[in-house]
Structure 1
Amino acid sequence: MAFEIHYEAVFRDGLAPLLLLTPDLVVVAVNDSYLKTTGWTRADLLGRPIFTAMPRDPHDPDLRGLKALRASLEQVAATGEPSAVALQRHDVEVPGRPGTFEERYWSAVNSPVFDPGGRVHLIIHRAEDVTAFVRHLRRGGQDAASCARAEQGESDPGAFVRARELLAVSERLHHAYTQQGHTMAALREAAEQQRRFVLDASHDLRNPITGLLTKLEVGLSEPDTDLRPILHKALRDAERLKDIVADLLELARLDTTAPTATEPIHLARLVADELERRTLTAAVVTRLDRRAVVNASPIRLARLLGNLIANAERHTTTTIEIVVTADPPEAVLEVIDDGPGIDPADHERVFERLARLDEGRRLDPSGSGLGLPIAREIAQAYGGRLYAADHPTGARFVLRLPLAT
């Protein structure tokens, strides 16, 4: 059967003495049990700083008990972590007899309440009257030194079982709340990234589609026009669409599937095969260590290398350098161009999906900004790293993969 919890009523009628404080330690709520235990009234407490509202204890002229309580509350406000206060004596004025105080002993647990942003919004102060326990110690023959130790929080831990249990539950709740906050933040960030990705991908797809439609409309509206140049341009737009769709499908596979079956791959041979397959407009210099062998999918690793070479060819001035070395426990592949290079502030940005720097847009207006993100995700799928590194004469991309054993 469905029911609704009235939290204010639960707080007000709870058996444990409870105060609700702001992080500035101003009392905003007090339950009936607290008023009954202390003899104070709501008018004494509500809207007032707790240490202004609490009467001074003549037994404690140095305010040791209040200082310990203040330190605990301030710790909760500052750190968001629950805090317990050891057994302290704080005498309470007898109702109806001003100036007459009754000997009382207390322990306390202070717990945070967080706002949706994860900041401490309120503090729950639970006071535990343990005067009866101290008196029991005395009746049981404890000497003055033992009672003094009890007053300083060194009594039998069994006396504080309830306080410890409350603190443990509060800590677990705080941990769960923190984890939930991290999870929700990650989900929100993932959703925002997905939204941006879809918008950017739609924009990149729209451009060649618009060009293709325009060319076809021109061809249909002017029947006497030579269609071959129009069809050639339409073909390039269609090929651009095919490339973008292929990149999007590759990213989807990388996001949703485990790495494909691996086999030993000689990086030097992979570079040689890729260079033989491509017709480049720039000179290429290689330094290849044949000891660099890794375990990966040859198709995906060739895709990674091809994306790095295409990026270098787009930005280089005259020469591309490809270096393969063995640097145990890793194999290293570097692709270096002599173009304008990448600002260190953009070293990570170039690996964001669909992110394109101004230089890249100038050199290749039809580029999608997916090549480097795909290359990095392929590297990560096989336990490796791909990053942009500093270089004096251009851009330098470094791939590190575990050496095959």
Structure 2
Amino acid sequence: MDSALDYKMVFDALVVPAAVLTPDFVIVAVNEAFLAVMGRTRADVLGHLAFTAFPDNPHAPNDPAAHGMQVLRASLQRVVATGERNALPLQRYDVETPGRPGVFKERYWSAVDTPVLGPDGEVKLIIHTVEEVTDFLHQLRRYGEREVDDTRTALEAVTTNVYARAHELHDLNERLKRTAGQQRQTMAALKEAIERQRRFVFDASHDLRNPITGLLTELEVALSEPSTDTHEILSKLLRDAERLNEIVADLLELARMDTATPGDAAELIDLGRFVVEELERRPLTAAVHTRTDPQVMVRASRIRLARLLGNLVANAERHTTTTIEIIVTTDPPDAVLEVIDDGPGIALADREKIFERLRRLDDARRKDPGGSGLGLPIAREIARVYGGHLYAADHPTGARFVLRLPLAT
């Protein structure tokens, strides 16, 4: 078989009326059958927008089936957006009688829009095919006139009903497509959530295993070597038990915030004064400089806000070189708390990763091998619960964490 097919000749020979449109809805090709049924020439349609070449039917403005260009536009837009074939409902579009300018003949059409996809999956062309069903509908009317004149009104009602049902089916099909799309999005979100939970459980199990293994090892040593220093063994066991307790407490905290609004009642808090008071209670391992504006009021749980601040300060202490700076100010409609260290900083690509549960960057693992990777995710969840947001921002020297909470009026 000759592989060099003349596709233009094949297209022109098709008995099905067809037109080819660009994704911008410009007609670039039509076959002979299309020109014949439409009573047009190639010059009339090629290079024109479909809606310009074929405006809405002006000869049946009150016919619900006579707004074909509106329906065609929606169909073409859907094909470009989804890359999927779309069938149009039954349409009326009258065609001018050859040789009688201004005289139009009633015509009815069934049409389908089919995308032509490129190698990249994008829509390159759209094939618009039509089938005329005028004779079928006219036969219904003639049958009524010939056989049962008294039922003409009923038959006309049936014909009208065909149009109405076609549009109802089309609308139903559109709703089903939208529903299917929403279901696909929901299923994708559920799958992602399940996968995230699976990874979280796996990583949490791994982190819990380390202190448990340490406990078991120390106990085995104590039992196998009675002469071992008991105080030293107990100290190691205590450290492992404390580490295990911290991890479990963090996991429980995340579970509570995932399933419900925190039970602690929100109260009015002066954020600047709150920061100063919390720092006075905390044994610090680095120099901390504060700069706070007065009367920066927020609504939150004092206990949970203290945990958020504590997690940010602990993170800064692990990475800072000499100094931590804490700033409280306003940027209406938000109160803003910034915790800045002068450590190595956070690469732009890692600024969201550090808020993933149990995600620890290499630098964090090196400076604090016992860390859980839950402190920053917990801090962000607390911010979210009270209508705020926590994120890592740019800073010339070190890391800068920014907490935004709605200002309380």
Q: TM-score, normalised by structure 2?
A: 0.70
User: Which residue number in structure 2 is paired with residue 359 of structure 1?
Assistant: 363
For the 8 Å contact 1:386–1:399, the answer to whether it is kept is yes
Partners of 1:208 and 1:241 within 8 A in 2:
yes
Give the AA of the match of 1:108.
S
Question: Contact conserved, 1:65 with 1:88, CA < 8 A, in 2?
Answer: no
- AA partner of residue 81 (structure 2): T
Cα contact 2:92–2:106 (8 A) shared by 1: no
What are the within-5 Å matches in structure 2 for residues 191-230 of structure 1?
A: 191-230=194-233
The answer to whether structure 1 residue 79 and structure 2 residue 81 are counterparts is yes
The match for 2:6 is none
C-alpha deviation, 1:111, in angstroms:
8.2
Q: Counterpart in 1 of 2:334?
A: 330
Counterparts in 2 of 1:110-189, with a 5 A limit?
110=112, 129-131=133-135, 160-189=163-192
Counterparts of 1:88 and 1:283 in 2: how far apart (Å)?
A: 80
Alpha-carbon offset, residue 107 of structure 1: 2.2
What SS class does the counterpart of residue 261 from structure 2 fall into?
coil
Alpha-carbon offset, residue 212 of structure 1: 1.1
Alignment correspondent of 1:292 = 296
Q: Secondary structure at the match of 2:88?
A: strand
Aligned partner of 1:394 among 394, 398, 408: 398
Counterpart of 2:298 in 1: which secondary structure?
strand
Query: What is the one-letter code of the residue matched to 1:314?
Result: R
How far did 1:242 drift? 0.2
Distance 2:253 2:93 in 1: 66
User: Which amino acid counterpart does residue 188 of structure 2 have in structure 1?
Assistant: A
Of 322-331 and 48-57, more deviation after overlay is shown by 48-57
Q: Residue 277 of structure 1 corresponds to which residue in structure 2?
A: 281
2:255 partner amino acid: A
Question: What is the identity, as a one-letter code, of the residue corresponding to 2:92?
Answer: L
Percent identity between matched residues is: 59
CA distance in structure 1 between the aligned counterparts of 2:203 and 2:79, rounded to whole angstroms: 43
Q: In 2 relative to 1, CA 246–132 (structure 1 residues): closer, same or farther, beyond 3 Å?
A: same
Cα 1:324–1:270 change in 2 (3 A) is: same
Are the aligned partners of 1:384 and 1:399 in contact in 2 as well (CA < 8 Å)?
Answer: yes
Aligned position for 1:265: 269
Quote the offset at 1:105 in angstroms.
3.9
Residue 306 (structure 2) pairs with residue 302 (structure 1): yes
* Whole-angstrom distance in 1 between the partners of 2:184 and 2:260: 28
CA drift of 1:293 comes to: 0.9
Among 9, 16, 23, the alignment partner of 1:54 is: 16
TM-score, length basis structure 1 = 0.70
Cα separation, 2, equivalents of 1:230 and 1:165: 79
Q: Residue type of the partner of 1:211?
A: G
For the residues of structure 2 that align with 1:252 and 1:328, how far apart are their CA atoms?
Answer: 32
Alignment partners' CA distance in 1, 2:261 and 2:13: 60
C-alpha contact (below 8 Å) 1:109/1:167 kept by paired residues: no
Is 1:106 the counterpart of 2:111? The answer is no
Counterpart of 1:349, as a letter, is K
Please tell me whether the aligned partners of residues 79 and 113 of structure 2 are also in contact (alpha carbons under 8 angstroms). Answer: no
Check conservation: 1:108, 1:163, Cα contact below 8 A. no
Aligned length: 321
RMSD: 3.6
1:157–1:136: structure 2 CA closer, same or farther, 3 Å change rule? closer
Quote the offset at 1:131 in angstroms.
Answer: 3.5
User: After superposition, where does 1:246-261 map in structure 2 within 5 Å?
Assistant: 246-259=249-262, 260-261=264-265
What letter corresponds to residue 167 of structure 1 in structure 2?
H
Q: Structure 2 regions of 5+ residues with no counterpart?
A: 1-9, 18-31, 55-67, 96-104, 116-120, 143-158
Q: Distance in 2 between matches of 1:112 and 1:375?
A: 51
- Residues 226 and 126 from structure 1, CA distance in 2 versus in 1: closer, same or farther, beyond 3 angstroms? farther
* Aligned 8 A contact 2:16 2:130 in 1: no
**Structure 1 unaligned blocks of 5 or more:** 1-47, 91-102, 114-118, 139-155
In structure 2, relative to structure 1, the CA distance for the partners of 1:105 and 1:384 (3 Å cut) is: same
CA contact (8 A) 2:316 2:341 kept: yes
User: Structure 1 112/306 Cα, relative in aligned 2: closer, same or farther at 3 Å?
Assistant: farther
